[in-house]
Amino acid sequence: MKKDFRETGLDKIKQEVSQSAGWLLITSKDNSVATLLETGKRMQRLFLKVREKSIAIHPMTQILEEASTRQTLNQSIGISENIQFILRSGYLKNYPSPVSLRRPVDWFIRK
């Protein structure tokens, strides 16, 4: 990665982070397959609930890719569980149109 490309990316991330209204962390008790699947389900439920309230969520989990920074993050905020997702959040006036056509939620709900 060339220095200019890296610095441009970092500048963009700094701008995005400074415009965030808040942060959400989604954790899990361990890294078993069942637990990770349940953690992913919780995140998906969160995505559906915040949309109703015109809240945007942007995953920013890059810091979790390195064991040393992941451990430092846990220690600095006093969380002993495994952080699986770091989500930047904020309010939106309008959601942009989806990139691809979405199926209606009613197709997937059983009553």
Count CB neighbours of 55 within 10 A. Answer: 18
Q: Classify 15 as helix, strand or coil.
A: helix
**Mean predicted confidence (pLDDT) in 79-106:** 85
pLDDT for 14-33, tens place per residue? Answer: 777 677 778 888 999 999 99
d(CA 93, CA 36): 33
Question: Do 59 and 24 touch, CB atoms closer than 8 A?
Answer: no
pLDDT for 53-92, tens place per residue? Answer: 989 898 888 888 888 888 888 888 898 898 998 898 988 8
Enter the pTM of the model.
Answer: 0.67
